[in-house]
């Protein structure tokens, strides 16, 4: 883990040297990654839209034949919630319980408005998982405590990943907990100057297994390692793309 943290620190320093990041090309790059974040987060939860289809729905409002209305609405909801998350990340407003509920409200605003931002009053289970979530009666207190922790949590990758884990462990909503947790995680990462991290569909099993292990064995180390590996890979990708997008250096005066 120490070697991994060192790799991340080196890449983060390289990213900081490229700041300030601005310009039309970088705006387009951010939009590309935001569409990708929407696709990956929804795909992990069973949404059947491909990356291309997700982009068509978000950018052009085009419906895809053979795909459910809910799949389309989830794409629009997540993208809108992601844009709001970026606005909050750029502000100085504390991230608290209300912010988490607002993230969830936006994530299911069109697809499941009846549960938007509302804590579940029923038991929650994940099919095929032995993890047992807290009694619904305990959710308000647990979320209040979680919100208080969030307001003082450092803007570090470890804290971002812990916030994700804590929210999924409480599992306060009837649906949309994973999508909310990943946006919350990325909000903290962005505030800390890191790029947002996508958990790709091909990583779904390793991701869910690490979360389950953290809950059942009370051992967050494998989960933290997995998420730091994803951050390291994301930093490498960002650096590669950003370096390609940068204008070539100006020649020295005198032709040297």
Catalytic residues: 171
Residues ≥6 apart with Cβ < 8 Å to 200: 40
Place of tokens 């869910």: 208
Residues ≥6 apart with Cβ < 8 Å to 78: 38, 41, 42, 107, 179
> How far is CA 137 from each of CA 116, 120, 132, 163, rounded to the nearest angstrom?
18, 9, 14, 21
178 is in an annotated binding site: yes
Place of tokens 């990213």: 15
Angle between helices 24-44 and 221-245 (to 10 degrees): 150
193 is in an annotated binding site: no
- The answer to whether the bond into 20 is cis (omega within 30° of 0) is yes
Half-sphere exposure of 176 (CA within 13 A, CB side): 33
Integer Cα distance of 96 and 80 in angstroms: 20
176 is in an annotated binding site: yes
179 is in an annotated binding site: yes
210 is in an annotated binding site: no
125 is in an annotated binding site: no
47 is in an annotated binding site: no
**Cα angle value 247/248/252 (rounded, 5°):** 130
Q: Is 249 helix (H, G, I), strand (E, B) or coil?
A: coil
96 is in an annotated binding site: no
Could you tell me what percentage of the chain is helix, strand and coil, using 3-state DSSP and rounding each to the nearest 5? 70, 0, 30
Q: What residues form the annotated binding site for ATP?
A: 175-182
Q: What residues form the annotated binding site?
A: 175-182
């Amino acid at each position: 883990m120490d070697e991994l943290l060192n790799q991340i620190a080196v890449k983060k320093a390289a990213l900081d040297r490229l700041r300030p990041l601005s310009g039309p090309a970088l705006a387009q790059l951010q939009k590309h990654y935001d569409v990708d974040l929407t696709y990956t987060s929804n795909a992990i939860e069973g949404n059947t839209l491909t990356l291309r289809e997700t982009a068509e729905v978000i950018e052009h409002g085009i419906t895809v034949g053979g795909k459910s209305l809910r799949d389309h609405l989830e794409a629009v909801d997540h993208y809108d919630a992601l844009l709001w998350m970026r606005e909050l990340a750029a502000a100085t407003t504390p991230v608290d319980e209300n912010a988490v509920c607002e993230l969830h409200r936006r994530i299911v605003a069109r697809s499941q408005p009846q549960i938007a931002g509302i804590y579940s009053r029923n038991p929650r289970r994940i099919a095929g998982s032995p993890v047992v979530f807290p009694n619904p009666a305990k959710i308000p207190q647990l979320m209040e405590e979680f919100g208080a922790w969030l307001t003082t949590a450092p803007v570090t990758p470890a804290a971002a990943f812990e916030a994700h884990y804590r929210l999924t462990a409480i599992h306060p909503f009837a649906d949309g907990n994973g999508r909310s947790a990943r946006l919350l995680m990325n909000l903290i990462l962005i505030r800390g100057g890191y790029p947002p991290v996508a958990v790709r569909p091909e990583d779904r099993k390793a991701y869910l297994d690490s979360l389950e292990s953290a809950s059942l064995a009370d051992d967050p180390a494998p989960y933290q390692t997995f998420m730091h590996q994803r951050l390291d890979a994301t930093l490498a990708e960002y650096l590669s793309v950003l370096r390609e997008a940068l204008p070539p250096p100006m020649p020295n005066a005198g032709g040297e």
